[in-house]
């Protein structure tokens, strides 16, 4: 586990940065695929974890949510627009664009249902961060923002990894995984306006170059 800022850690994974999981304060953020339970449990030993939150309900983020919540005895939180899909994962695949890869990913990565104890809305607090509603990649996608040191965890609003090479590279999430790309761009612009000092992604390494982040978002089509 690597510390990125005060009370913010990135859990290790292999290959590194492909599917990121974070510990923000005492809240576990995202849970990888359903095969990630063991690595998450191992790295959380010795840490006080009181809740599990999601950026959004996709198979590579909620896959181990049920197992982790059961194992640690903690509640699950997510954006209000994704709560029904967390409790009925069949809705996750139903809401994704119709593409063969989504069906394959769901077969291998999608986690079981789990009750949502708290639905997150704009301005809520979680793990010392403020919740921001950022729909587009999913209906209930949320990001997490800490004003005091300008740290942003944006989930899959953007990625910082080339899908071809695996090297760091800013990009939009693929349209085959994003029901509403235009709305997702609006969410990206909302986040760029914050001018964060540190940006943490669902896929790809953290970015500490504010100008690069803002410039990339400004180049996105309307």
**Is the pLDDT assigned to residue 174 strictly greater than 90?**
yes
* Three-state SS annotation for 147-193: CCCCEEECCCCCEECCCCCCCCCEECCCHHHCCCHHHHHHHHHHHHC
For residue 193, give both structure tokens: 């306006």
Mean pLDDT of the residues in the chain: 97
Tell me what the mean pLDDT of segment 135-158 comes to.
98
Return the pLDDT at 222. 82
CATH code for residues 2-218: 3.60.15.10
Return the pLDDT at 163. 85
What does the domain layout of the chain look like in residue ranges? 2-218
Handedness of CA 49, 55, 56, 62 (dihedral sign): negative
Q: ∠93-169-132 over CA atoms, to 5°?
A: 55
**Is the pLDDT assigned to residue 112 strictly greater than 90?**
yes
**Is the pLDDT assigned to residue 109 strictly greater than 90?**
yes
For residue 93, give both structure tokens: 């695949």
pLDDT digits (tens, 9 = 90+) for 17-42: 999 999 999 999 999 999 999 999 99
Please state, in angstroms and rounded to a whole number, the distance separating the CA atoms of residues 149 and 161.
24
């Amino acid at each position: 586990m690597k510390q990125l800022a005060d009370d913010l850690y990135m859990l290790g994974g292999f290959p590194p940065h492909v599917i990121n999981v974070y510990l923000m304060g005492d809240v576990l953020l995202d849970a990888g695929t359903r095969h990630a339970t063991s690595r998450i449990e191992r790295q959380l030993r010795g840490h006080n974890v009181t809740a599990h939150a999601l950026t959004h309900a996709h198979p590579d983020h909620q896959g181990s949510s049920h197992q982790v919540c059961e194992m640690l005895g903690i509640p699950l939180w997510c954006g209000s627009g994704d709560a029904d899909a967390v409790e009925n994962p069949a809705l996750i695949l139903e809401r994704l664009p119709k593409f063969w890869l989504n069906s394959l990913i769901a077969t291998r990565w999608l986690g079981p249902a789990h009750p949502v104890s708290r639905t997150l809305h704009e301005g809520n607090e979680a793990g010392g961060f403020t919740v921001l509603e950022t729909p587009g990649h999913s209906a209930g996608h949320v990001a997490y923002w800490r004003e005091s040191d300008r740290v942003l965890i944006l989930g899959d609003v953007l990625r910082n990894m080339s899908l071809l090479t695996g090297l760091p590279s800013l990009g939009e999430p693929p349209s085959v995984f994003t029901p509403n790309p235009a709305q997702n761009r609006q969410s990206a612009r909302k986040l760029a306006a914050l001018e964060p000092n540190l940006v943490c992604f669902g896929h790809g390494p953290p970015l500490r170059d504010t100008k690069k982040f803002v410039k990339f978002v400004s180049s996105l089509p309307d």
